[in-house]
Structures are given as C-alpha cells and as structure tokens.
Chain A
Amino acid sequence: MICEHCKQRHATVTVTQVVNGQKSERHYCEVCASQFHPFNLDFHKDEQVPIHQLVSNWFGLPIWKTGTQEKQTQNTQQVTTCPSCGFTFRKFLNEGKLGCPQCYETFSNQLPQVLAKIQSSTKHIGKVPGNTKQSNERIKKQIEIIREQLKVAIVEERFEDAARLRDEVKELERKLESGGVDQS
C-alpha cells in the first residue's frame, strides 16, 4: 500500500479516527504520519524512552511526578560516570543493577529516589559489621588457643616456637587492650 499523503513511500501506519461515531482509516508512511500525529509515541519507537518510564518499567512503579521528572532529566545531562567501574546512571537504569560498591557513592544524588520507591526507607537500621564486643571475644579465644600451644611447646622443649608463641600472645593482648580503650 502507498502512503495517501506523499503517494511515494510505503504506507506502514494506519490512523483510525472516530468522528461523530463515524470510523475512518487513513494509511500513511512513517514520515508523513509523524508530521500529522507527532503526539503518538508509537511513531518514535526507536527513540529513547524517557528515563522515568524506564525506571517504572524496571521496578514496576507508577510514573514519577513531574517535579522529580524534570530534576531527573537535568541530572542525566551532566553525565556522571563511576570512576571504579565506568557505570553511568543510565546504564544502571537499563541493567537494574549497579557495577561496584563505589557506585552508591557516585550516584548518591539520584539513588535515594529509586530506593525510596522500592524500599521502606533510605536508611539502614539493621546489622552493622565489626561489633567490637564480638571481635574481643574472638581475640580472647585465640589467646587461649595459643597459650595451649605454648604449654605444649615448652613441654616438648621447642623453645624457639615457644618464644614466637609468647610474642603472639603479647601482641593479641595489646590489641585487646587498645580495643577496650576504643570501646569506652
């Protein structure tokens, strides 16, 4: 079928109009169609989908309010690239995943908006690594083990080993003390 307007190109778009209950169909090529109906998104299939649309596709969220939407467009104009893995915020939106731990720092301006939508808040209130109390316990246990080895070494008259083990105990005890200072 040939386009009804330019009568040159192949007609690929069908426009259905309903006026006063009367249905009429027109067949245009893509070039002419986009001139007549620039509002129809289907004509721009290959163009970039707006960012807020992408996010909502990815996370199954309602489309963002106009306020955030404008802010978002601004942010992407000055493209930030993660120095560690080369990810851009756009790449994150496409993948749905970040490239490295550093990304959380790099995109610290944009990420909270995404997190607020998918999480219950943007502040972690759970487990924190490096609980001093626990590591102290661990060191104490280690000291006990080494002391046992030290006794065996003395009984077996391996004095070089014993000296080394004694130094290890001293080192761990020093660690324990400084840890105690930190705690108080």
Chain B
Amino acid sequence: MNIEDFLKSEAPSWMKVKGTDGDIVISTRIRLARNLDGFRFPLSFSEKEAKEVDEAVTKAVLNISEKIFSHFTIKEMPALQRQVLVEKHLISPLLAKKENSSSVLISDDESISIMVNEEDHLRIQCLSPGMQLLETYNLAYKLDNELENHLPYAFNNTLGYLTSCPTNVGTGLRASVMMHLPALTMSKQIKVITQMLTRLGMVVRGIYGEGSENLGNFYQISNQVTLGKSEEEIIEDLQNAVVQIIRNERASRESLLNKAPLVLEDRFNRSLGTLKYAHIMTSEEAAACLSNVRLGVDLGIIKSIPLHVLNECMILIQPGFVQQYAGTTLHPNERDLFRAKMLREKLNSKTNKFNNKGEEKYDV
C-alpha cells in the first residue's frame, strides 16, 4: 500500500471492531524489542550497519509473513506524515526524528508495525481493540518466532534478549492497555491506583504522549519489569491489575450516576453540543468533551453517537491529523479552527441519518 493509505483521516480498520470491555479499554498493545547479533545498537552504529540491519529485517518481514507489509523509510517522509504516524501509534516519536536508515513496516490493517533502527534494531508492535492481552501477545509471539528463523537475534542465556536500554532486557516485552477512566479521575482515585501500580512494577501514563497526564481521562497502563518474569507472568499480572481497575471504574460510574444523574446528563449533553457546534476548539477542550460524551454513551444517556465515531475523533483531534485534514501546516490557533470544523463534520454527519432532517451544511 502507499503511504497515503495510512494517512487517511479515519481510524485504522482494526479499531472499528469493539473489543472486550470496549467501554473502558480502548486498545491493547504488545511491543517486543529485539536486536541482531553482530551489529551495534542504533545509539552507536554506523550508517553502513544501519543499512544492513534495515535490509535484513525488511527482507525477513516481507518474505515470511502471511500478512502484507508496506515498507517506508523515515527520512524520505515529510515531517507532517511522520507526525500522523506517531499520532496513530504506528511509530514512536523517537523513530520520527531519525535521519539514518530507519524505517517502519506496517501491515495493511495497521494492526502490526515493525520499527527498524529505533532504540533497538527491531520493535515489533501489535495492536488490538479492547482488552485482548493474551490474544495480542500470541500474535506478536508468532511473528517473533517466524522472524527468529531468519534473523540472528542477540540473546544471552542469563539475560535473555539483549536491548540497548537495560529497562527492556530479558523478555523485551512491553504490554500496554489504553483505558478511559473518567469516573476514577473525577473521584480522585486514580492517584492511589498509580501509586499502587508503581509498587507492582507497572506504570501509568497519558496516551497522547509525555506530559499529557490525563488528557481526556485516557491512561496507558503497562508493565515496567522485563527481566526475571516470564512473558506469561507479565501478561497475567497486568491482566489482573487491569481487571481490578475496570471493576473499580464501573463501580465509580454507577455511584456517580446514582448520586447526580441530572448533573451528569447535563454535562454530557453540553459537551456534545460543544463538539457539534463550536467553531474554535483546543485539543484539551476537545479531549475533555469527547471523554464526557463517551461516558454518556457508555452509561446509555447519549444514544445518537456510535462508540467507533468517538474512537476515531479521539485520534483525529491531534495536531498532525488536524493539519493533514487541512492539507497544510497550521499555527496552533488556526488548528483550533480546523479541529472544530472537522469535529462538526464527523459528529453531525452521523446524526443526520438519525434526525432525518438535514442540519446546517458546511462547505468543505
């Protein structure tokens, strides 16, 4: 596929399916860090080594897999395209900055991306909708086994898979779950949960990258420890923690709904109104409103908006996508105008069918 296919202003196809516990868990991500024996890590390797690694990995991936992959060299892509891929979580911000032989292999449904020459030679990443830790891990495991037959992985009997950063050595596995936790955030329980998880060797981050702690009440929960635990243990521990958090979030939502149904109903519909009719929209406001509407949909108060449209909007409000939508680079305040326009289109077009009555038309 061409790069344009991966840059469309819509959610990736794997995301259109609602996964298990899809009301709270948006997606599951498994990442495996691998390196090739006989090559220095990207931090210190030569351009020649970079090229060789890129060629070897690309050849292996294109040969073995049942899925069809497309290969893109990072340095050949304009900055805006790179940013859109970052916002889709297909590449990392670190890879987007690389100017040597770094590349990414993306599967047609965008559920698998293999980054080449990021911090490690290979970063195998699998994405699934909803809560699917084991299933997603099995996908990554299979792919890893296939690649292993063609690539000489750097492996040490005591330390496992060798990685550039000692925080990844061992299994090289980072399992993450993206969660929407508005009720736990409102009731301030999220801080306690964060502390508890840290003690259990897990981390909580915002999903829009660093510094965006709880934008839109979205959190990414992942394992920290990679050495001394087997893959199965890591997955199981994370699974247990996430199940616990889901239970708490559900209980908090219920008690919120019991305490103040009218206030909530007002809040959700106000947010929906803002999203549908505002003409200036910062990403913070958009994220906050989308979170409210999402909770409204989950609680059955808002019925006119399907969940997958909200999932899509969540991705599209990011700066790279807004500029992609506008077709040009924009200043932050110009972005706010286009963001509002895009949200109006997305949310009003879906309700048109519902209302049967055409709402205001906007020139594109």
Contacts of A100 in B (CB 8 A): 39-41, 44-45
Docked-complex contact A111 and B154, CB < 8 angstroms: no
* A49: interface (CB < 8 Å): no
Given A121-B228, A130-B148, CB of A111 within 8 Å of CB of B158: no
Q: Which of A16-73 contact B (CB under 8 A)?
A: none
The answer, among B43, B149, B228, for a CB contact under 8 Å with A125, is B228
Q: Specify which of B40, B149, B166 lies most central, judged by the most chain A CB atoms within 10 Å of its CB.
A: B166
Interface 9-mer from B128-136, B167-175, B244-252 = B167-175
Interface size class of A (residues with CB under 8 A): 20 to 34
Contacts of B153 in A (CB 8 A): 129
The answer, among B37, B38, B149, for a CB contact under 8 Å with A138, is B149
Docked-complex contact A119 and B158, CB < 8 angstroms: no
Q: Mark A121-135, 1 if CB is under 8 A from B, else 0.
A: 111111111110011
In the complex the two chains form, what is the Cα distance from A86 to B141 in whole Å?
33
Docked-complex contact B149 and A124, CB < 8 angstroms: no
Contacts of A138 in B (CB 8 A): 149
Interface 9-mer from A2-10, A90-98, A145-153, A158-166 = A90-98
* A85: interface (CB < 8 Å): yes
Docked-complex contact B44 and A118, CB < 8 angstroms: no
In the complex the two chains form, what is the Cα distance from A121 to B234 in whole Å?
13
Contacts of A131 in B (CB 8 A): 145
- Tally of chain B residues near chain A (CB < 8 A): 42
Q: Which of B117-151 contact A (CB under 8 A)?
A: 119, 141, 144-145, 148-149
In the complex the two chains form, what is the Cα distance from A123 to B158 in whole Å?
5
Docked-complex contact B228 and A101, CB < 8 angstroms: no
Residue of A nearest to B227 (CB): A119
Docked-complex contact B149 and A135, CB < 8 angstroms: yes
Contacts of B164 in A (CB 8 A): 97-99
In the complex the two chains form, what is the Cα distance from A131 to B312 in whole Å?
41
Contacts of B166 in A (CB 8 A): 97-98, 111, 114-115, 118-119
In the complex the two chains form, what is the Cα distance from A113 to B310 in whole Å?
47
Q: How far does the Cβ of A128 sit from chain B's closest Cβ, in whole Å? A: 7
Given A97-B119, A98-B164, A100-B44, CB of A120 within 8 Å of CB of B228: yes
In the complex the two chains form, what is the Cα distance from A98 to B119 in whole Å?
10
Docked-complex contact B171 and A124, CB < 8 angstroms: yes
Q: Mark A76-113, 1 if CB is under 8 A from B, else 0.
A: 00000000111100000001111111001100000100
Docked-complex contact B225 and A119, CB < 8 angstroms: yes
Q: How far does the Cβ of B137 sit from chain A's closest Cβ, in whole Å? A: 11
Given A85-B44, A97-B41, A101-B154, CB of A127 within 8 Å of CB of B169: no
* B8: interface (CB < 8 Å): no
Residue of B nearest to A101 (CB): B154
In the complex the two chains form, what is the Cα distance from A111 to B44 in whole Å?
19
Docked-complex contact A95 and B43, CB < 8 angstroms: yes
Given A120-B228, A124-B159, A129-B148, 18 additional A-B pairs, CB 8 A: A95-B43, A97-B41, A104-B169, A105-B156, A111-B166, A119-B226, A120-B201, A120-B225, A121-B227, A122-B159, A123-B158, A124-B169, A124-B227, A125-B230, A126-B234, A129-B155, A135-B149, A138-B149
Interface set of B (CB-CB < 8 Å, partner A): 35, 37-41, 43-45, 119, 141, 144-145, 148-149, 153-162, 164-167, 169-171, 173, 201, 225-231, 234
28 contacts between A and B (CB under 8 A): A97-B41, A97-B164, A97-B165, A98-B43, A98-B166, A99-B44, A100-B40, A101-B37, A101-B41, A101-B154, A101-B156, A118-B166, A119-B167, A119-B170, A119-B226, A119-B228, A120-B229, A121-B227, A124-B159, A124-B170, A124-B227, A125-B229, A126-B173, A127-B141, A127-B144, A127-B230, A130-B148, A135-B149
